[in-house]
Amino acid sequence: MNKKNRAPAKIRQIDWSLCFIADSQASGGRDVLWLIEEAVAGGATIVQLRGKTWTVRNFLRLAVQAVELVRPKGIPLIINDRADIALACRADGVHLGQDDLPVSEARKILGQDRLIGISINTPEEARRAEEASADYAGAGPVFATLSKPDLQPLLGLEGLRRIRTETRLPILAIGGITLANVGEVMAAGADGVAVISAIASAASPRQASTKFIETIGKVRKNPAPQIA
């Protein structure tokens, strides 16, 4: 499939390379805003804020600060799950799980100009995400991860390739992505990767982000021959 026709007009300009997910449960005691600042300084192109353990009030307070931090740099800020918080902090979009609001309902609330992403684990979920006019799919878990242990089957590179053939949506691969495997993940057809601990737990989150961006850039320049 031609990469050029993957994304609808409104999001053609978004750089999907590297999404840093700033998670209330996986910041390792580090300041979340500092982590976001470092990740973006290092090259992260999207930030998602996930706050299952924060009160709504604290989540909103952090979200407002995060938007102030990344907006001047042209980096989209995505809120996990809560469309109401996304509206209140004027985020660029929302990321939904399969058990969250349906994409269609989130779209009514957020309108056409905000991004709506959805987590998918199967080609069927990828097809439904596209039918529901999601803006991107978070495909995973590709590999095992401790950041968000769940019972879903691991996709592996093979599963990722299968999902790639099923959807024209931009794909952010997620789950156990590291500097050691990001190359093959991109080669399997991802448009970018979403990373939690590989940045949040790195000695230098900034350097980790830079290395991800460099590796992703290299794969894009010299794509390995793909096995269909």
- Per DSSP (E only), the strands in 10-149 are 18-23, 46-50, 77-80, 93-96, 115-120, 136-139
Q: Does 206 bind its own copies (CB under 8 A)?
A: no
Chain residues 132-171 in contact with its own copies, contact rule CB under 8 A: none
Chain residues 103-132 in contact with its own copies, contact rule CB under 8 A: 105-106, 108-109
> Residue 97 forms beta bridges with which residues?
none
Cα(153)–Cα(17) distance, integer angstroms: 24
ω into residue 141 within 30 of 0, thus cis? Answer: yes
| Planar angle of CA 154, 165, 138, nearest 5 degrees | 50
* Cβ closest to its own copies, residue 19 vs residue 106: 106
Write each residue from 54 to 93 as x if it is in contact with its own copies (CB under 8 A), else as -, in one continuous string. Answer: -xxxx-x--------------------xxxxx-xx-----
| Nearest CA among 156, 210, 151 for reference residue 139 | 156
**10 among known catalytic residues:** no
Max Cα–Cα distance, the chain, nearest Å: 49
**148 among known catalytic residues:** yes
> Could you say which of 17, 27, 107, 119 is catalytic?
119
| Nearest CA among 167, 139, 140, 165 for reference residue 228 | 165
**73 among known catalytic residues:** no
Query: Which tokens is 102 given?
Result: 């349906």
Q: Does 99 bind its own copies (CB under 8 A)?
A: yes
Count of residues that bind its own copies according to CB under 8 A: 21
Select the residue interacting with its own copies from 35, 44, 101, 115 (CB under 8 A).
101
- Minimum Å distance from CB 66 to its own copies? 16
> Could you say which of 6, 114, 148, 206 is catalytic?
148
Radius of gyration of the chain, Cα coordinates, nearest whole angstrom: 16
Q: Does 4 bind its own copies (CB under 8 A)?
A: no
Which region, judged by CB under 8 A, interacts with its own copies, from 8-16, 49-57, 149-157, 203-211? Answer: 49-57
Residues that bind its own copies (CB under 8 A): 55-58, 60, 81-85, 87-88, 98-102, 105-106, 108-109
- Which residues are identified as catalytic? 50, 119, 148
